[in-house]
Amino acid sequence: MSKVIIGMSGGVDSSVAAILLKRQGYEVIGLFMRNWDASLNNDILGNPTINNDVCPQEQDYLDALKVCEQIGIPLQRVDFVKEYWDYVFTYFLDELKKGRTPNPDIMCNKYIKFDMFAKEAYKLGADYIATGHYARIKDGKLLRAVDDNKDQTYFLSQLSNKQLEHVLFPIGDLEKSEVRKIAEEYNLVTAKKKDSTGICFIGERNFKGFLQNYLPNQPGDIVDIETNKVLGRHVGLMYYTIGQRRGLNIGTTDKIFVVGKDLDKNILYIAYGENNPYLVSTSCVVDQINWLSKDKPEKCTAKFRYRQKDNDVTLEYHDDYIIVRYPQGVKAVTPGQACVFYNGEECLGGGIIKEVRRDEKKLWYL
């Protein structure tokens, strides 16, 4: 009997993934990852940034433990707090300091869930590792999940083929509604548990209060990029991303969007209207390229953020970067986010957006 070590997150997806593995005849062992020190959740004044009697991470562990008891598999716990800090959180802070919008969940998958976790699983004698990600693997290819609305291949695009060799994604062929139904049939404690949202280590706690511990606020002007008129004050450039509409507190009912940042002058630029040309780019430079496919196409589709529709693109290859062109124009392409390439259902790989351009010229305000 093959042994599978499954990452139990305390959510419904990993719970049902474990059930499916048992149904398929595997010996299943759950492994819960502790990636964050809950004592770091307070704000700069020492006040909790989330109002819970039990730390969300500890509650997730208790839920995972209950599920494992319900379905009859053992659960072990492993501590990756230091590794998470070194490989994910430090990266997150460094990107924010550069005025970029990082995606730490992608780095968590690359360095923690499919590296540190996998090594720990193989120490326990695993033949395979499994997670509750919505994705599929077939004939060595990483494929989108059946449920396109929940597909998570975007977050798996920085993994290597070697990391995916012995990985199982049990729920990749299911719709989310089917996953919930199975959990309810087993009367799992996670059956109706809300899906986690937000950045992996911050979750739904007060982002600004939390981040002040590491990057002090530097308020500055909010400026209309077309008129150069000062419209208000921002609380710190790190809290805003390109395309953002909410939370600007300018006192207008007009549709306004963040279109750029000037780090040297500490200015946040906005523009009016969802079709404003300052929101649109026609190409970008992508580095930190990771290919899962052996083929490197000249044409394919790409996503520049999670749950975005596919965009037709052409690729121009250079030694350590790619110029991705989309002359039809795409809104809010953002430095620091992932650009992920697809050919139909197959995820070909991806990289990190370094520079955004319009009509081949760098957008200086990004």
Q: Active-site residues: which are they? A: 108, 200
Q: Is 31 helix (H, G, I), strand (E, B) or coil?
A: strand
Query: Can you list the positions of beta strands (E) in the chain?
Result: 3-7, 27-34, 75-79, 128-130, 136-138, 141-143, 167-168, 220-224, 230-234, 256-262, 267-272, 280-291, 299-303, 311-317, 322-331, 338-343, 346-358, 361-362
Cβ neighbourhood burial of 34 (10 Å; 0-12, 13-18, 19+): middle
140 to each of 102, 164, 179, how far by Cα in Å?
A: 28, 8, 25
- Name the DSSP class of 4: E
Q: How far apart are CA 353 and CA 149, in angstroms?
A: 23
DSSP 57-77: HHHHHHHHHHHHHHHT--EEE
Cross-strand pairs, 222: 232, 268
Asked if 159 contacts 109 with a C-beta cutoff of 8 angstroms, the reply is yes
Name the token pair of 28. 């299943």
- Name the DSSP class of 41: G
Is the CA virtual torsion 323, 324, 328, 333 positive or negative? Answer: negative
